[in-house]
Chain A
Amino acid sequence: MSDINTIIKPENIIYKKTDVLTDNVMHYCPGCSHGTVHKLIAEVIEEMGIQETTIGIAPVGCSVLAYNYLEIDWQEAAHGRAPALATAVKRLMPEKYVFSYQGDGDLAAIGTAETIHACNRGENIVMVFINNGIYGMTGGQMAPTTLPGMPASTCPAGRDVSHDGAPIKISELLAQLPGTCYVTRQSVHTAANVRKTKKALRKAFENQAANKGTSLVEVVSTCSSGWKMTPTKANEWMEENMFPYYPLGDMKNE
């Protein structure tokens, strides 16, 4: 055991919490992907040295309180309106880095119009899209991204495609618009995937610095409370069920 004490010294630290994250304990459920993505955004902001010049647009949903966790400037948007607010902030302050952080209910349901038009105009912003296939905050209702046959509180027998339509692949849709420069789908369930997602976020912020247009980083995520599984089981379920329908990788990289 003396071994361990010789290793635990400040000069041996290879991984610790970035100072861009606040010390607040996140309100998210255990194992929630939101925490990991928050951390990655904070690390990218720290590495790029843009803490003083970044403005986040918080959504409605579980991540409505994102402004409590990242030590940057924030604006809170009405439900689904984050891309519209991000447009305004970026146009008024083009020297700032602006990103929206939205869930699937926010980005792909209530805010579909704002999302599509912001991407079509090619607003020079980063959009982070957390897709867990369910409305987590409000009690696990069916979302536009809920998989066929996947149970939710408003479709306890599973989503019926003949009645509710098929889940919307919003990233594929947005990749077709000329305004987007980078559309990618990632996940944060393993260390390797976390590293890839961080690279994707870094690229998205660099695209903004280069005035390239809208970058969308979708993160296929879990909602262990909404899915009624343990966090590790939810990660396995996501691999087996979400990834075949929402394959990971770049859809557009210009």
Chain B
Amino acid sequence: MAKAKGAIVVDEVKCKGCGVCVTACPTKVIELAAEVNGKGYHYAYMAHPDNCIGCANCGIVCPDTCITVYRAKAGATA
């Protein structure tokens, strides 16, 4: 399993479950949750966190700007 280089934090309350981030993710990290949030949407979550490369594509395409993207600095991962 690839070592994660990046990570995302989804604002699960704001997410509307549109799925645009799922399509945008090049390493298929994101899926829509089986559970729903307070608004009844299947929010996005990191289903395969090990694959995240921290490219930020998901955050960039998110219409509701509810994804914060983190990327470990080169050589910083333990």
Residues of A within 8 A of B (CB): 1, 3-4, 6-9, 11-18, 21, 25-26, 28-36, 39, 188-191, 194-195, 224, 230-232, 235
Distance between A111 CB and nearest chain B CB, rounded to angstroms:
25
Instruction: Give the distance in Å from the alpha carbon of A6 to the alpha carbon of B7 in the complex.
Output: 10
Q: Is B30 an interface residue (CB 8 A)?
A: no
For A36, give the chain B residue with the smallest CB separation. B63
The 10 closest A-B pairs by CB, nearest first: A35-B63, A31-B18, A30-B16, A30-B18, A191-B57, A15-B69, A15-B59, A15-B56, A231-B18, A12-B70
- Whether A6 lies near B72 (C-beta < 8 A) is yes
Contacts of A21 in B (CB 8 A): 65
Question: With A15-B59, A194-B60 as given contacts, are A31 and B69 in contact (CB-CB < 8 Å)?
Answer: no
Residues of B within 8 A of A (CB): 3-7, 9, 14, 16-20, 22-24, 41, 46, 49-50, 52, 54-57, 59-73, 77-78
- Residues of B with C-beta under 8 A to A190: 24, 61
Q: Contact at B61–A191, with CB atoms within 8 Å? A: yes
List the B side residues contacting A14 at CB < 8 Å: 6, 54, 56, 69-71
Q: Which partner residue on chain A sits nearest B56 by CB separation?
A: A15
Whole-angstrom CA separation of A35 from B70 in the bound complex = 22
**Contact yes or no, B63 A32, CB < 8 A:** yes
Q: Are the C-beta atoms of B9 and A26 separated by less than 8 Å?
A: no
From the candidates B19, B52, B67, name the one contacting A231 in the complex (CB within 8 A): B19
- Neighbouring B residues of A12 by C-beta, 8 Å: 70-73
Instruction: Name B54's closest neighbour in chain A (CB-CB).
Output: A14
Q: Are A39 and B65 in contact (CB under 8 A)?
A: yes
Residues from chain B with Cβ under 8 Å of A230 in the complex: 19
A11 contacts across to B, CB distance below 8 A: 73
Determine the distance from Cα of A121 to Cα of B1 in the docked complex, in whole angstroms. 60
Q: Which of B56, B61, B68 is packed against the most chain A CB atoms within 10 Å? A: B61
Asked if residues A35 and B24 are in contact (CB atoms below 8 Å), the reply is: no
Chain A residues lying within 8 Å of B19, measured Cβ to Cβ, are 31, 230-232
Decide if B65 touches A6 in the complex (CB within 8 Å).
Answer: no
Of A1, A4, A188, most buried by chain B (CB within 10 Å of CB) is A4
